[in-house]
Amino acid sequence: MAAGSLLALLDDIAAVLDDVALMSKVAAKKTAGVLGDDLALNAQQVTGVRAERELPVVWAVCKGSLLNKAILVPVALLISSFAPWAVTPLLMLGGAYLCFEGAEKLAHRYQHSAATGEAVAEPEPVVDRLDFEKDKIKGAVRTDFILSAEIIAITLGTVADASLVQQVIVLSGIALVMTLGVYGLVAAIVKLDDLGLWLARKDSGAAKGVGAAILAFAPWLMKGLSVVGTAAMFLVGGGIIAHGIGPVHHWIEGFSAESSGALGSVMPTLLNALVGIVAGFVVVAVVAVITRFRR
């Protein structure tokens, strides 16, 4: 009798683990797009940090990301249980914040490029490196919070019909794997130039050639990630906002369905980005008006 009960228990555990593995696989596929945006955003957030401080900054942001997910997982479970209607509005607020950050970056770049054309150049302000790193870490952790919330929300939608234990296991597993995967890749990207320098100093001609190629490629990669990271803010934020507004979401789907070929496949992405750009600059304008009135 005891042996039979033990076998039944082991069979139940195996079935639960199979279900968890299947749901985790589905959730990982659905969150892959957000994962790419998360990687681009966080890699470009570390730009400008001194070489010897890059890994400590990445580790600090990684710890902040783990704390974000430690907060978001139980909060998401509570909201889905007691106030499921609040998930979409909260995600839309986060999406609006991402769009605002992207629009603010574009506005800042435009103002900076306009200022460089002035006849008299003012001396650059002295920047405290410690404060600079703290600002970088805080900004990266804030951005990570929004992207983590979307990852958790997508995963929660995948396991909505599962038991509470399965939901907790899948959400925790996805949160941990995504965080370690993203920040492991970010650490590898920011240290790519060090790898190139190490290879360039080798005696082997092949190693020197590879090192020189990496050193030539690394700055372009970081610039590209900066552009992709800003675009990702509009894509992710605009997609969240468009999905939360029923008529806009249905219009994008209908318009994309009418487009044929490759255009039809990229049209939802382009329209989501357009929604994100418009929403971002609207929020920037509202914040500017509020700031002016406060002053």
pLDDT band at 3 (very low <50, low <70, confident <90, very high): very low
Can you give the pLDDT at residue 217?
A: 84
CA distance 128 to 250: 49
User: What residue ranges do the domains of the chain occupy?
Assistant: 2-294
Judge whether residue 255 has pLDDT over 50: yes
Q: What percent of the chain has pLDDT over 70?
A: 74
Give me the amino acid identity at 70: A
Say how many C-beta atoms besides its own lie within 10 A of residue 207's C-beta: 14
Say how many C-beta atoms besides its own lie within 10 A of residue 152's C-beta: 26
Judge whether residue 214 has pLDDT over 80: yes
The model scores a pTM over 0.75: no
CA distance 64 to 147: 13
Cβ atoms 214, 251 nearer than 8 A: no
CA distance 73 to 156: 9
Q: Which of 120-129, 204-213, 238-247 has the lowest mean pLDDT?
A: 120-129
Query: What are the CA-CA distances from residue 89 to residues 202, 218, 219, 245 (Å)?
Result: 55, 39, 39, 10
Cβ atoms 96, 149 nearer than 8 A: no
- 29 three-state secondary structure: helix
Judge whether residue 16 has pLDDT over 70: no
Judge whether residue 291 has pLDDT over 80: yes
Residue 159 DSSP code: T
Judge whether residue 281 has pLDDT over 60: yes
Can you give the pLDDT at residue 21?
A: 54
Task: Give, to the nearest 10 degrees, the angle between helix 54-82 and helix 129-158.
Answer: 40
